[in-house]
Amino acid sequence: MKKPHRKGYGPTGIKHGSDERKLKKYIGKRISEADHELLTRYAADLNVDVAALLAPHVDSLLANARQHQSESRAR
């Protein structure tokens, strides 16, 4: 039996896989399939996606990089 077609629109209202996204995906880390499954299950148990789990850490890393850059330029 064929599954019904899923809309595939994200929270921004833009269709997934679309070239209309405002931002591109640039960072990543290679992990084992087992670790990927572990993170995916953990996120599902929390009713969020993996990106939502990673976002605060990426935001913190970006803040640190921006601060470092501004301090480097001030020297």
Report pLDDT digits (tens) over 44-75: 999 999 999 999 999 999 999 999 999 999 88
The pLDDT of residue 34 is above 70: yes
Q: What pLDDT was estimated at residue 25?
A: 84
Angstrom CA distances, 7 to 10, 14, 19, 38, stand at 9, 10, 16, 27
**Average pLDDT of every residue of the chain:** 85
Q: What pLDDT was estimated at residue 64?
A: 98
Decide: 17 and 27 in contact? Cβ < 8 Å: no
